[in-house]
Amino acid sequence: MTLYKENGDMAVLGDLYQRYMDLVYGVCLKYFKDSEMAKDGVIQVFEELVVKLKKHEVENFRGWLHQVAKNHCLMQLRTPRNLKTVEFKPDLVQNEENVHLNGVLEKEENFQKLEYCLGTLIPEQQRVIRMFYLEGKCYNEIAETTGQEWNQVRSFIQNGRRNLKICMEKEQLTPGSQPLTNKKN
């Protein structure tokens, strides 16, 4: 290695590389799983050595060469020509307008349920739930704003969330049932 770095003699590098060609071939074969590609890899790694060996301080040539070969193989496998593409078939994608509309209607219905259920909470729970979830305030900010103890704020949030969940589950609309906005408390 030192002799090659000093005078750049390719014959010296060729003699050194000859000793480790089987190692490089084995690494390339492991990654490429094709003997022709592995043989090409052996040549390409040698070409890389011509440049890289002059730039790097190498203490353990065998280990370093193994890593260079491995990196070369991984880079080759990542190139676009080796990426597999799959034909896109638009007819397999569900693209009906009513599906999208159903999702929007379902969200609107859930918002109506949520608004109704928020109205069923006691005023303290309702206020704290709105501040925490809708305004994004933390427990400390809510406690400061409302003048309530931190533990009380936490309790209102936990109980309010539980009560909302119970109400939302109870208010599952069935086809033909009345919308929540017309219900009386």
Residue 45's CATH number: 1.10.1740.10
174, 112: one domain: yes
Mean pLDDT of 157-171: 87
Which position has the higher pLDDT, 40 or 175? 40
Listed residue (75, 87, 66, 76) closest to 24, CA to CA: 66
Start-to-end Cα distance in the chain: 88
The Cα-based distances of 102 to 41, 108, 115, 160 in angstroms read: 55, 10, 20, 29
List phi, psi (to 5°) of 25: -60, -45
133, 72: one domain: no
CA separation for the pair 168, 162 (Å, rounded) = 10
Residue 175 has pLDDT above 90, yes or no: no
User: Is 67 within a domain?
Assistant: yes
pTM: 0.43
46, 116: one domain: no
Residue 167's CATH number: 1.10.10.10
User: Is 89 within a domain?
Assistant: no
Judge whether 132 and 142 are in contact, CB under 8 Å: yes
CA separation for the pair 171, 168 (Å, rounded) = 5
62, 117: one domain: no
12, 69: one domain: yes
Number of domains in the chain: 2
Q: Which range of residues forms the domain containing residue 172?
A: 106-182
Ranking 32-46, 50-64, 86-100, 122-136 by mean pLDDT, the lowest is 86-100
Ranking 1-5, 42-46, 122-126, 155-159 by mean pLDDT, the lowest is 1-5
Judge whether 73 and 32 are in contact, CB under 8 Å: yes
User: Is 72 within a domain?
Assistant: yes
58, 121: one domain: no
For residue 78, how many C-alpha atoms fall within 13 Å in the half-sphere facing its CB?
Answer: 6
124, 72: one domain: no
Residue 12 has pLDDT above 50, yes or no: yes
Model confidence pLDDT, tens digit, residues 82-126:
556 666 666 665 555 555 566 667 777 878 888 888 889 999 999
User: Is 40 within a domain?
Assistant: yes
Model confidence pLDDT, tens digit, residues 92-102:
655 555 555 66
When computed from its CA atoms, the radius of gyration of the chain, rounded to whole angstroms, is 34
User: Is 87 within a domain?
Assistant: no
